[in-house]
Amino acid sequence: MNHIDSPAWRALAAHAEAIRTQHLRELFADDPARFDTLSLRHDGLLFDYSKQRVTTETMDLLRRLADAADIDGWKKKMADGEAINHTEGRAVRHMDLRAGKDAPPEVRAVLARMRGFCEKIHSGQWRGFSGERITDIVNIGIGGSDLGPRMVVKALTAQQQPDIAVHFVSNVDGADIAPLLGRLNPRTTLFIVASKTFTTLETLTNAHSARAWLLATAGNENAVAKHFVALSTNQERTRAFGIPDDNTFEFWDWVGGRFSLWSAIGLPIALAIGWRHFEQLLAGAHALDEHFLSAPAEANLPLTLALLSLWNTNFLGASTAAILPYSQSLAYLPAFLQQLEMESNGKQTDRDGETLGIATSPILWGEAGTNGQHSFYQLFHQGGRMIPCDFIVLRQADFPLPGHHLSLLANCLAQSAALAFGQTVDEACAAGTPGPLLPYKVFPGNQPSSTLVLPALSPYALGQLLALFEHKVFCLAVLWNINAFDQWGVELGKQLASQLTLLLDGDADSGAFDSSTRGLIAALR
Ligand code: F6P
């Protein structure tokens, strides 16, 4: 059922009209305890949402909407393994992947094999075709089979294993894989072909090039078994590629691609940071799962993030949202969250097949701080658009150099304060701004933001952070009455690309296409 026509939705719309003109300056002036009222602490995390344009009444009304949408019922359906991905008839069980000793036996069995494999690589017991040990791992995958592991491996640079380098290749553009292969030694390189379906064009094209590169030196097909492993749900296809079953780490159709870094897809992570750290990552996510499933609405972190996103999108009219990690190690987090949020919730057809007609996922983007400050923050401050920002910050640096972390933290706090409170003409004047420049020194403020503080970038805290966003996405989908776990919108382009590959490669008639596409085919042939 659509919640847009519900009394809870209408109450929020009326409330939004009433508080739309209120400035964060007033909201803070009215309530000296605003930070205490509008922030949450859980298991080392601090989430401050007092700089969002909400009041306690807003939050109450939003929680009523969550009740009306039966968030608790949907959580239970997901946890019970119901096929809530209804368009594909699949359960959504990524929480089972990180349930520790309570994980299903098939999950524990694959984890045990992954662990054994990591030990062989790290100890040097696993040897390449020439008898040398493996020094470089190349993960070939795209989307969910790339973004999560790539982001986590970068995030946990401080935990990285010595003597092994993990690289990522995703784009079908030869400019991705070719320069990397140019630097590597085929005798000491192992490829991980990561693909849930094992049909993805980019991944298979890169995997075939990698295989040809290996065989050009090895000269014997037997080398493939020593230099290729697969992570997939599709053993028929991994076998057809020539990867032996012993080198294949499986997962299941109930693991969505963008929720899969906890499964066999996490193998490059475990190879990069070691098994103990990989387990800590899973443990952090599991702890957050338990919080999500059991905490009441007013203390529930993922639900709170989701409600704020819904409020900004559907009631205050924001169309984008910025992810701003003040951590260079989290530089790939915005890219990961783009897939997680936009591929999950960038939809207009609801669970009943009806068109929604309201905005769903905001356009997510972002950049590590402080870099973004020197490129696009100008628009945040004076561009005249409302852009909700999520700041993420670490209390303790992962690479402590004297003076660095303090500056990083100060800049993060400076930005969220400047965005919220701005600068009036009087303040600019008092600061000595010459008259003609006064109009340029006015900052309207009232830009909403949240700040999430992690104690440190430990594997455990990163697991918490990622599960937090996964469950936020789930809650939003329930609130919008959409299915977060399919992605039909990517299909049309894939179909057209395979037709166009044939057309670009030959001289067949392109008459079925429009004049623009025909003109471009002619120019590129
Ligand atoms: O781009 C669509 C998509 O299907 C994503 O959902 C998925 O993560 C990615 O392609 C890769 O798919 P696979 O793991 O099957 O290669």
- 196 in contact with ligand 1, CB cutoff 6 A: yes
- 143 in contact with ligand 1, CB cutoff 6 A: yes
Atom of ligand 1 nearest to the CA of 144: 8
Atom of ligand 1 nearest to the CA of 343: 6
Token pair recorded at residue 437: 């420049």
Atom of ligand 1 nearest to the CA of 265: 14
Q: What is the pLDDT of residue 4?
A: 78
* pLDDT tens digit sequence for 470-483: 999 999 999 999 99
DSSP 137: E
* pTM of the predicted structure, to 2 decimals: 0.97
* pLDDT tens digit sequence for 444-473: 999 999 999 999 999 999 999 999 999 999
Structural contact between residues 451 and 391, judged by C-beta atoms closer than 8 angstroms: yes
pLDDT at 1 over 70: no
Write the single-letter amino acid at 300: N
**Average pLDDT, integer, range 201-229:** 97
Nearest to 505 by CA among 515, 495, 497: 497
- For ligand 1, atom 6, name the residue with the nearest CA: 257
What is the maximum span of the chain, computed from C-alpha positions, in angstroms? 78
Atom of ligand 1 nearest to the CA of 202: 16
* pLDDT tens digit sequence for 86-113: 999 999 999 999 999 999 999 999 999 9
Active centre residues (catalytic)? 343, 374, 494
- 238 in contact with ligand 1, CB cutoff 6 A: no
Q: How much distance in Å is there from the Cα of 490 to the middle of ligand 1? A: 9
- Taking residue 151's Cβ as centre, other Cβ atoms within 10 Å add up to 24
Q: How much distance in Å is there from the Cα of 120 to the middle of ligand 1? A: 29
Q: How much distance in Å is there from the Cα of 235 to the middle of ligand 1? A: 17
Question: Mean pLDDT of all residues in the chain?
Answer: 97
- 197 in contact with ligand 1, CB cutoff 6 A: yes
Quickly state the pLDDT bin for 2 (edges 50, 70, 90). confident
- Taking residue 152's Cβ as centre, other Cβ atoms within 10 Å add up to 25
Q: What is the pLDDT of residue 151?
A: 98
Distances (CA, A) of 5 to 10, 348, 357, 395, 476: 7, 16, 12, 43, 17
Distances (CA, A) of 397 to 95, 334, 375, 400: 29, 20, 24, 5
* pLDDT tens digit sequence for 4-63: 789 999 999 999 999 999 999 999 999 999 999 999 999 999 999 999 999 999 999 999
DSSP symbols for 49-81: -TTSS--HHHHHHHHHHHHHTTHHHHHHHHHTT
Token pair recorded at residue 119: 């030990």
Q: What is the pLDDT of residue 217?
A: 98
